[in-house]
Amino acid sequence: MPGANDIITALKAAGVPLVFDAVSALLEVRAPGHLEALRQRLGELVAAGRLLCNRRGEYCLIEKLDLVTGVVSAHRDGYGFLLTGDGSGDVFLPPAEMRQLLDGDRVAVRVSGTGPRGRRAGVVMEILARGRQGAVGRYVRERGVGYVVEAGRGGRHYLVPDAGRGGATDGHFVKIEIISYPTASREAQGKVVRLLGRPEDDPAVATEAALEIFGLPAVFPAEVRRAAAALGSEVRAADKAGRVDLRELPLVTIDGADARDFDDAVYAEPLAGGWRLLVAIADVSHYVRPGEPLDQEAAQRGTSAYFPDRVVPMLPEQLSNGLCSLNPDVERLCMVCDMRVSAAGEVREARFYRGLMRSRRRLVYEDVQAAHDGNAEARRRLHAVQGQIDHLYGVYASLARARQRRGALELELPEAQITLGDDGRIERISLRQRNDAHRLIEECMIAANVQAAQFLQRHRLATLYRVHAGPDEEKFENLRLMLQALGARVSGQARARPRELNAILAGLRARPDYPMLATAVLRTMAQAVYQPANIGHFGLALKTYTHFTSPIRRYPDLLIHRGIGHVLDHGKPAAFGYDIAGMELLGKISSERERRAEEAARHVETRYKCAWAKERVGEVLDGVVSAITHFGLFVTLTDMNVDGLVHVSSLRNDYYHLERGGLRLVGERFGQAYGLGELLRVRILRVDVDEARIDLVLDSEATAGSRGHSRPGAGAQRRVRARR
């Protein structure tokens, strides 16, 4: 059978569009089975945007038709964009073109002019492939007509005939199967295949909806469950052979109070001029073998996904919470990074080996920090491992000094913690506080990750690095102008020097809008990804870095373990089961799965926050102006770390204009000004949980006498710092 490139080459040589029979004759494909395979391959090339099949059934080269192909990204206001992914820029699709399209469709368009902000505008010439077969949203019934308003993907409406509503009533969240796609003159239609529930009655519906919207698999296939069950719940005698016995070492795990799977355990002891540090990681690779059902499912999931009400794990719970989890007082297999760390925080020596361990204690960050700070009750409870805790803080102090010297970015942003009651409803939302116990574990893990990357690099094995590119030049220039307007001096060289960015951020840390500014710095950079080409990690200021420490919940870590195991078994690079091309593909899949899980988690967290806010409509809360547009002020509610909008129409009767590059909104007649970073008291006016939208108004009594400039007073700064 000719490959895709052979087909393209043949069509180029032909120089004209060809029907299927002409293509098969040109390629000398005649056998019935081969003809069907050729037809399928041509269909794949059409779906991929390399060919187009015109109305006469002729296959045409896209490049000869002056068309642009890509994936549709729909906007809730009716328009959309064609994401080309080739660096040429996106193409604007007006509402009239979007009527026949769904978010995620692959289409071919002809550039027809210029759209908003100078972008190219396009006309749809061909829908190459539909992006999906189903949708999730709220069922609405009005005037005897039922339809579903899609959630999270541009607000598309799907008509639902009564025969296909599957018991849904007005307000139900449902999953539908698309039974007819939209055209320029007809709405899409669907039928209900699953009732998800009502978010007002059960906040967990938000998670159920997100699993469907983002395509996260919540249930493991039967063969995967059987494979996990067959491994048992205890380490077998045969599996202990040839391992370094660490069962007498007081290794401990330190995690959050709500953690259920424990990837890593640590141990430290003082040495002359430094420390010995052991980072022991669950040896998942011993149980999850390449190509087997457990491995195939883990590769497809790529990562565990975390939501307020549940975890969707990468591995079945028999492994993630059981046999692979480093639970206390049970034997577990581990992969160990055994390091010698100098007093200056430099790793002078490191070796890897397979181990057998027994965790001495399962510790939580808050207790460890309290004991280290001298809390008598905490020290009494942790007396048996207090010496080990003290040693760990000693090695952490050394590693932290090394981190400071190399200039890693220090961007500790507030993180909301949603606490649910026994009934699954929100009990409270608070800001998670990081302490040195968190940073201790983080630095130990970074040290082991660096050594794993260097180990595989030395042995010239195909592997995945965790890479993080520096700031984009154009984005950084916009950031520099914004920061300079706020009074910060930013040199152009700071784009390549994390240390300089740290100094700038340190000067802004007292501002109440610091989290927004730190986020703006992050947004100038590309997202960290997995790839076999090592370009270093800008944020951590490291030349070589990978992920080794979480194989229970991240597939790339499992691949790293396999590479280390291959070297420990004296395997040659050429005999490793993965080559560069294979790693490239797995890196792309893992990076995409990671983004998917993060987007789903944000989707759910935002709606939980909105559900919480909806119960507080009318309440007055503290907020910080975190962004300003011509239509109003985005205000971050400080106790919830969620944004709401104060629309310009709710401000004092005046004409308002953006000034200073979008840093202030100023009234034309009365001169009332609202600045970035300003502390405000706002009242929750209304909340739309489905749209994740919170409308706010200024509380006039609360703000009276506390306005007039965009920088808060010292008392306000202290109050914000205490919250953070």
Q: Concatenated DSSP letters for 314-336?
A: SS-HIIIIIITS--BTSEEEEEE
Does 243 share its domain with 94? no
- Contact 205/307 with Cβ under 8 angstroms? no
**Residue 713 has what pLDDT?**
33
Q: Comparing C-alpha atoms, which of 714, 701, 507, 702 is closest to residue 623?
A: 702
* Per-position b or e across 587-621, b if 16+ CB within 10 A of its CB: bebbbebbebbeebbebbbbbbbbbbbbeeeeebb
pLDDT tens readout for residues 5-33: 899 999 999 999 999 999 999 999 988 88
- Collapse the DSSP code of 126 into the 3-class scheme (helix H, G, I; strand E, B; otherwise coil) and give the result: strand
Per-residue model confidence (pLDDT) at position 712:
34
CA 193/CA 632 separation, integer angstroms? 40
Same domain, 481 and 371: no
Determine, yes or no, domain membership for 215: no
What's the token pair of residue 209? Answer: 């909806």
Q: How is residue 662 annotated by DSSP?
A: T
Mean pLDDT by 10 residues, the chain (724 residues): 87 92 92 89 85 86 85 89 83 93 90 85 89 92 93 83 94 95 93 92 90 93 97 96 97 93 96 96 98 96 95 97 97 98 97 98 96 95 95 97 92 84 87 92 98 98 96 86 82 83 84 83 90 96 97 98 98 95 94 96 93 92 91 90 92 86 86 90 94 91 39 31 28
Q: Give yes or no: residues 428 and 286 share one domain.
A: yes
* CB of 385 closer than 8 Å to CB of 250: yes
Closest residue by Cα to residue 163 from 191, 182, 187: 191
**Beta carbons of 622 and 679 less than 8 angstroms apart:** yes
Residue where a domain stops, chosen among 114, 129, 144 = 129
Q: Read out DSSP for 538-588?
A: TTTTBSS----S-TTTBHHHHHHHHHHHHHHTT--GGGSS--HHHHHHHHH
In a domain, residue 610? The reply is: no
Q: Which residues have CB under 8 Å from 295's CB, separation 6+?
A: 288, 289
List the Cα angle 245/248/254 in 5-degree steps.
100
Please check whether residues 652 and 699 belong to one and the same domain: yes
**Across-strand partners of 467?**
529
Q: DSSP 3-state assignment of 296?
A: helix
Contact status, residue 153 vs residue 163, Cβ threshold 8 Å: no
Looking at the fold, whether 191 and 109 belong to one and the same domain comes out as no
Instruction: Let me know if residue 466 belongs to a domain.
Output: no
We report the CATH number of the domain holding residue 698 as: 2.40.50.140
Are 175 and 152 within 8 A, CB to CB? no
8 Å CB contact between 267 and 388: yes
Domain end residue (candidates: 97, 129, 161): 129
Q: Are 484 and 412 in a shared domain? A: no
In a domain, 79, yes or no: yes
Q: Is residue 139 domain-shared with residue 253, that is, in the same domain?
A: no
Q: Is residue 217 part of a domain?
A: no
- Structure confidence at residue 216 (pLDDT): 94
pLDDT at 330 (0 to 100): 97
- Same domain? For 374 and 228 the reply is yes
Residue type, position 674, single letter? Y
pLDDT of residue 153: 65
> Residue 307 corresponds to which tokens in the numbers above?
């939501």
Q: Identify whether 594 is part of a domain.
A: no
Task: Provide the domain count of the chain.
Answer: 6
Q: Is 542 contained in some domain?
A: no
The reply to whether 321 and 441 lie within a common domain is yes
Of 354, 352, 349, 347, the residue nearest 287 (C-alpha): 354
In this prediction, residue 154 carries a pLDDT of: 65
Listed residues 129, 150, 171: the one ending a domain: 129
CATH code for position 28 = 1.10.10
Strand 106-114 versus strand 68-74 pairing type: antiparallel
Instruction: Assess whether 138 and 287 both reside in one domain.
Output: no
Per-residue pLDDT, 558: 98
334 and 315 belong to one structural domain: yes
What is the CA angle 492-497-500, rounded to 5?
A: 80
Which residue from 534, 690, 478, 683 is spatially nearest to 603, judged by alpha carbons? 690
Say if residue 345 is in the same domain as residue 432: yes
172, part of any domain = yes
Among 335, 334, 347, 363, which Cα is nearest to 271's? 347
Domain of 266 in residue numbering reads as 222-455+555-561
Distance CA 642, CA 429 (A): 11
Q: Which stretches of 228-321 are assigned E, i.e. beta strand?
A: 244-245, 252-255, 264-271, 274-282, 305-307, 310-312
Residues 244-256: tens digit of each pLDDT: 999 999 999 999 9
> Cβ atoms within 10 A of the Cβ of 658, count?
13
